Amino acid sequence: MLKLRDMDFLQVKPGKKLKLKEIPSDSTKRLPDRDKADEATEECTLKMGELQDRLYAEGRRSLLVVLQGMDASGKDGTVRKVFDDVNPTGVQVISFKQPTSEELRHDFLWRCHAKTPPRGHIGVFNRSYYEDVLVVRVHQDQLLAPELRGKNGEWKRRYGMICEFERLLGDAGTRVVKFFLHISKKEQRERFIARQKDPVKHWKLAAGDFEERKFWDDYQAAYEDMLPATAREDSPWYIIPADYKWVRNYWVANIIAATLQEMDPRPPVLTDKSLITKRFK
């Protein structure tokens, strides 16, 4: 299993300008061959299961994993593969859809704060509060309150709110680690076509898939602005090459396992030692 410092090259540098076109989405840099990578991924998922048990027993801290990416970037697939060996009672996966009328009556962080993981648990956000500086920014003429449209300072203000929110979570014992699943426009198209050809995956198709493709460059620009602005040492962003699913799984599994290892959760010490030798009748 790798250590976090071994994966620093995937981490977004706070405040540094970013060009996603210059970052290969099909990179296999620093990876072993496919078979060894798959074995390493499995070892990491098993280690995550062990560490999550310790986190649950410790009951003092939690881990929040944020998954963001373009449509078809593999957020669902990442959850299925990477958390396969973790006790499901210790993991809660939340997928954020279009806000309800009640959620729209609150600040944009409200609905997400209520779903953050309790102590002892791992929480996974499949999309998150970051949608409010991504899709809302791209479609601000429809999704942003009229009085806020056209104000460039609105996004900087929201970045600040997000950073403060994640700082609050950290102060309360929740470690935050964030992944941008980076795929190419060509790969996204191929995955959409694969869904059209496979009847089992027809349910994943949506009319919006065709429309949102037109805004690819706008979304890339929004990510390039957002990622460095919200990257912090204690709540880092990792850009994961995601054109190859096995590469994506390898890096995400290693980073999460290494993060849990660094957290080093420790179950409480048994105070009544007689329970170890006491006979059951």
Can you give the residue ranges of every domain in the chain? 4-264
Distance of CA 274 to the CA centre of its chain: 44
**Rounded CA gap, 221 and 216, in Å?**
9
What is the reported pLDDT for 64? 98
For 222-270, what is each residue's pLDDT tens digit? 999 999 999 999 999 999 999 999 999 999 999 999 999 999 999 998 8
Q: For residues 79-98, b (16+ Cβ closer than 10 Å) or e, as one string? A: bebbbbbbeeebbbbbebee
The CATH superfamily holding the domain 4-264 is P-loop containing nucleotide triphosphate hydrolases (3.40.50.300)
**Rounded CA gap, 139 and 104, in Å?**
16
What is the reported pLDDT for 270? 85
What is the reported pLDDT for 177? 98
Which bin fits 44, alpha (ψ -120 to 50), beta or left (φ > 0)?
A: alpha
| Sequence-ordered alpha helix ranges (H) in the chain | 34-58, 75-82, 101-104, 110-113, 135-138, 140-143, 153-171, 185-197, 207-212, 216-230, 245-263, 274-277
What is the reported pLDDT for 102? 84
Residues of the chain with pLDDT below 70 are none
Which bin fits 102, alpha (ψ -120 to 50), beta or left (φ > 0)?
A: alpha
Task: State the pTM of this model.
Answer: 0.95
CA distances to 52, 117, 120, 248, 267 from 57, in Å: 9, 15, 7, 29, 5
What is the reported pLDDT for 281? 85
Give the CA dihedral 46, 49, 53, 55, nearest 10 degrees.
110
What is the reported pLDDT for 105? 82
**Rounded CA gap, 28 and 11, in Å?**
16
Distance of CA 4 to the CA centre of its chain: 16
